[in-house]
Structure 1
C-alpha cells in the first residue's frame, strides 16, 4: 500500500472549493461546525466531513472544550505547498521571458521591408503622379 505524502494530502484537501472557503473563514479565528456551516447550504454532517479531510491533511486542528470543538487553522502545510509551487516560478518566468523575446523578434521581422525571392529587399520606385 502506498502512503500519501503531506503535499498530496494538502493539494487533495485544497481541491474542493468548500474546503478552501472553510480555510479562508478560519484565517479570522477558531470556529465551530455550526459557524462554519452557516454560509453553506449543507448539513453539519457534510461540513464535518470536510473538516475531517482538512484535519487529515493537517490544515485544521480541532479542540476539545466540553461540547464546543472549535476548528483552528494550521497554515504550516500551506507554506510547504507554497514553497513547492514557488519552485516553478523561475521556470514560468524563464518561459514567459523566452516567449516575449520570440514575439518581439517576430514583430521586428514584421517591421522589415519585404524582400524578393532572391532575399534582397525590394523597394518600389515612387513615380510622380500627373
Structure 2
C-alpha cells in the first residue's frame, strides 16, 4: 500500500499526528481513539507496511514511531509539488498586486 493510501484514512492520519509528537506504545495509541485495540492494531499494520511508522519491542510493549524513510519520501513529494506551484503562485501574486488600469470608456450606442 502506498503512503498516500495509508494516510487516506482519518484514524491513521490521527495516529501519525500523535506519533509526530513522539514515540508511543500501542496501548497509548489505542487510548487516544474510540475504537477497539484490534482496530488500532490493523491501522498500525497498514502504516507499518506503507513505511510510515516503525515498531520496536521494549519488554512486553511495542513502541511505535514515525519511520524516517517514509516521512522523507512524503517530504520529497511535497517539495516537488512546491517546486511546481511556487513560481505559479508568485506570478499570480505579482499579477494581483499590479495597479488596476484605467477603466475603458463605453461606446455610446445609437
> Normalized against structure 1, the TM-score is what?
0.67
Give the structure 2 partner of residue 63 of structure 1: 56
Residues 38 and 76 (structure 1 numbering): CA distance in 2 closer, same or farther, change over 3 Å? Answer: same
Give the structure 1 partner of residue 20 of structure 2: 27
For residues 79-98 of structure 1, what are the structure 2 equivalents within 5 Å? 79-98=72-91
Residues 42 and 100 (structure 1 numbering): CA distance in 2 closer, same or farther, change over 3 Å? Answer: same
Contact residue 6 and residue 12 of structure 2 kept, 8 A: yes
SS in 2 for 1:63: strand
Q: Give RMSD over aligned pairs.
A: 2.3
Residues 67 and 104 (structure 1 numbering): CA distance in 2 closer, same or farther, change over 3 Å? Answer: closer
Q: Write out the 4+ residue segments of structure 1 that deviate beyond 6 Å after TM superposition.
A: none
Q: Distance in 2 between matches of 1:60 and 1:116?
A: 64
Gaps of 5+ in 1: 118-130
> Normalized against structure 2, the TM-score is what?
0.77
How many equivalent residue pairs?
107
- Specify which structure has the bigger relative contact order, considering alpha-carbon pairs within 8 angstroms and separated by 6 or more residues: 2
Residues 101 and 64 (structure 1 numbering): CA distance in 2 closer, same or farther, change over 3 Å? Answer: closer
Q: Distance in 1 between matches of 2:83 and 2:22?
A: 34
Give the structure 2 partner of residue 108 of structure 1: 100
Q: Please state how far the C-alpha of 1:97 moved relative to its aligned partner.
A: 2.6
Indicate yes or no: 2:7 matched with 1:14: yes
Of Structure 1 and Structure 2, the greater strand share is in 2
Deviations 1:83-122 (A, max 9, x none): 11211213222222332344345x522xx154354xxxxx
